[in-house]
């Protein structure tokens, strides 16, 4: 166009002048047209996390938008809605074995294809008393890590692997040195009333004069960064299964109760994180209690209720029962979905890990520790191509920006 | 169906079907205030933008027929893919930016959502510098401040997907 204007080094022709004017007007108009402030978050909310982190350096106003707690909350809600609509969900896998300690995210699809590898914060390794941190659970993109096996280990970390930030919790007030021997169970949940994430720790002290254990409930609030004690008595003692289930805003653990005639009763104890209250959920009535039984809780496939895995491996009896409570808190709705018996030439009985969204059950095969997915209706086993180490954790995960606005969170 | 006439900044006139014109909150306000027989002047809208907007509504009607769903109710998902494929081509980053401004000015909610999504797709793999250029944002960090962010989050600045 510039060539047009300088035809044979003579003056601008009328045609070229008007073209030039139009072009300048266009540029001027574009410069004036700066997007209104309100639109920016609408665009940002649709960006992936890595881009958002990078764009905090675009300008100060973008930084404050992205770090704003309500933006973080809206971004999470948007991610969850989108995942549900597109049926793209993620699974977190932690595998610890002789030669590896790996964390990774996978798609919750047929192939369980890898989404990405996760780098574990090196700084944490130096603090460990045990050989690895165990993943206790996840909530809205936050991962609760615990290095708490043994008497002097009280390392709790809340970690967001998607933004590579973590918070090391201060030591809890209930410890072996202060309270004697106890059983403890922990879990991380969202308090919708206080808009806060809470680590709830239920400790059942065993060294009591009347031989009946006393239970203390502590909680760590992410918002205040400190521990508190709840003046609540849970109805029962926790069972040291170390597995909890987070569903419907409540943390669930297996617990033991003593009936009036001194019989032991197993049940599920549910703690509503927002309402700070306990309730009891009965186990299936037909369940025969036995010392040789191993129980494990899980979230149901539809993520609205709980499931139960009951495993028995003895000389006389060998089975894995898979139950689900079809209607949450309706005890009559407990349904036995399947009974698994020893499989294969070695007569090995798998262990159940969790339900997938598809309703399939993830199992660890006893001998070679391979992970398989069991389809309940067709009874088909599908090898997932993943070997479980000594410690193996599998659960749902969703990415979020939580902890980005935490000043004391450590980046790595 | 009644037709509404509009005139863009460069003097071109367009005839819109009434129900489509009413999707623009700005045009709707004008119609409520003035007679429907008058031409509505849109000095902030360019003719190429108007062409694109009409193209969008035509496409919506096509997709509604194809999928049998009211597009206005469904904002994300499969519909978005079909929309994106058609709308995305021949639209430069700068043009998309201008169109976004215009659609926001006209108050066409449903198209705005889709353009925001498109804009996010275009932006996500950009470097910080090209993002600033696209949005016309003032660089207000000191070199030290910017270096600190880059150091804290160095992983977010690296990767094969980031465009040069």
A317 phi and psi angles, rounded to 5 deg: -135, 130
Paired sense of beta strands B3-8 and B40-42, if any: parallel
pLDDT tens-digit readout, A50-93: 999 999 999 999 999 999 999 999 999 999 998 888 888 999 99
How much is the pLDDT for A11?
Answer: 52
Q: Which tops the pLDDT comparison, A311 or A242? A: A311
Task: Tell me the percentage of chain A whose pLDDT exceeds 70.
Answer: 91
> Which positions ≥6 away from A258 have C-beta within 8 Å?
A212, A264, A265
ipTM score = 0.89
Helix (H), strand (E) at residue B143: helix B143-152
| C-alpha atoms less than 13 angstroms from C-alpha of A310 in its C-beta half-sphere | 21
Radius of gyration of chain A (CA): 27
Least Cα separation, residue B12 to chain A (angstroms): 14
**From CA A317, how far away is CA A341, in angstroms rounded?**
9
CA A366 to chain CA centroid, Å, is 25
Q: From chain B, pick out residues whose CB is under 8 angstroms from the CB of A40.
A: 135
Q: In chain B, which residues touch A (CB < 8 A)?
A: 9, 46, 76-77, 94, 97-98, 100-101, 104, 112-113, 116-117, 119-121, 123-125, 128, 131-132, 135-141, 146, 149-150, 152-153, 155-157, 159, 162
Asked if A156 and A129 count as a contact pair (C-beta separation under 8 A), the reply is no
The structure's pTM equals: 0.87
- Name the average pLDDT for chain B: 85
Is residue A219 within 8 A of residue A208, CB to CB? The reply is: no
pLDDT band at A49 (very low <50, low <70, confident <90, very high): very high
| Chain B residue numbers touching A29 (CB-CB < 8 A) | 9, 46
Among B95, B109, B115, B124, most A C-beta atoms within 10 A, so best to mutate, is B124
Across the interface, whether the CB atoms of A411 and B116 are under 8 A apart is answered no
A201/A182 Cα distance (integer angstroms) = 12
- Comparing CA positions, the residue from A395, A392, A405 lying closest to residue A134 is A392
């Amino acid at each position: 166009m510039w060539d047009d204007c300088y035809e044979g080094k003579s003056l601008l022709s009328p045609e070229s002048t008007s073209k030039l004017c139009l072009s300048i007007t266009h540029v001027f108009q574009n410069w004036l047209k700066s997007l209104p402030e309100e639109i920016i978050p609408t665009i940002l909310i649709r960006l992936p996390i890595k881009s958002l982190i990078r764009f905090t350096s675009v300008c100060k106003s973008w930084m404050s938008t992205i770090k704003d707690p309500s933006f973080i909350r809206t971004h999470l809600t948007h991610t969850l809605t989108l995942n549900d609509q597109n049926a793209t969900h993620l699974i977190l896998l932690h595998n610890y074995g002789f030669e590896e300690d790996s964390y990774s995210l996978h798609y919750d699809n047929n192939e369980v294809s890898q989404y990405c590898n996760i780098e574990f914060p090196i700084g944490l390794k130096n603090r460990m008393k045990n050989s690895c941190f165990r993943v206790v659970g996840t909530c809205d993109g936050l991962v609760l890590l615990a290095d708490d096996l043994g008497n002097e280990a009280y390392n709790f970390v809340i970690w967001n692997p998607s933004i590579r930030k973590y918070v090391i919790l201060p030591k809890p007030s209930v410890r072996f040195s202060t309270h004697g021997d106890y059983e403890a169970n922990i879990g991380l949940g969202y308090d919708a009333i206080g808009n806060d994430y809470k680590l709830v720790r239920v400790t059942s002290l065993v060294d009591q004069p009347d031989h009946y254990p006393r239970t203390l409930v502590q909680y760590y609030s992410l918002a205040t960064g400190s521990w508190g004690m709840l003046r609540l008595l849970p109805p029962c003692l926790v069972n040291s299964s170390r597995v909890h289930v987070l569903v419907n805003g409540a943390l669930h653990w297996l617990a033991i109760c003593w009936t009036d005639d001194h019989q032991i009763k197993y049940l599920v104890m549910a703690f509503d994180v927002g309402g700070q209250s306990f309730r009891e959920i009965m186990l299936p009535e037909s369940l025969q209690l036995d010392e040789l039984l191993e129980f494990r809780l899980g979230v149901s496939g539809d993520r609205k209720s709980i499931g139960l895995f009951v495993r028995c491996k003895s000389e006389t009896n060998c089975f894995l029962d898979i139950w689900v409570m079809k209607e949450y808190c309706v005890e009559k709705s407990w349904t036995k979905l399947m009974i698994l018996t020893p499989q294969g030439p070695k007569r090995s009985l798998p262990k159940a890990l969790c339900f997938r969204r598809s309703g399939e059950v993830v199992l660890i095969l006893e001998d070679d520790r391979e992970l398989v997915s069991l389809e309940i209706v067709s009874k088909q086993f599908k090898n997932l191509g993943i070997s479980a180490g000594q410690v193996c954790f599998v659960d749902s995960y969703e990415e979020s920006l939580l902890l980005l606005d935490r000043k004391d969170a450590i980046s790595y | 169906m009644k037709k509404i006439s509009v005139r863009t900044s460069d003097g071109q006139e367009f005839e819109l079907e009434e129900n489509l014109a009413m999707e623009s909150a700005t045009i709707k306000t004008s119609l409520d205030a003035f007679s429907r027989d008058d031409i509505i002047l849109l000095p902030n809208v360019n003719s190429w933008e108007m062409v694109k907007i009409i193209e969008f509504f035509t496409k919506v009607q096509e997709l509604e027929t194809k999928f049998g769903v009211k597009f206005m109710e469904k904002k994300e998902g499969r519909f978005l893919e079909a929309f994106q494929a058609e709308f995305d081509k021949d639209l430069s980053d700068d043009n998309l930016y201008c169109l976004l401004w215009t659609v926001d000015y006209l108050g066409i909610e449903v198209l705005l959502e889709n353009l925001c999504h498109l804009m996010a797709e275009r932006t996500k793999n950009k470097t910080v510098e090209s993002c600033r250029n696209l949005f016309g944002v003032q660089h207000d960090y000191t070199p030290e401040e910017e270096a600190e962010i880059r150091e804290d989050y160095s992983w977010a600045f690296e990767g094969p997907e980031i465009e040069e």
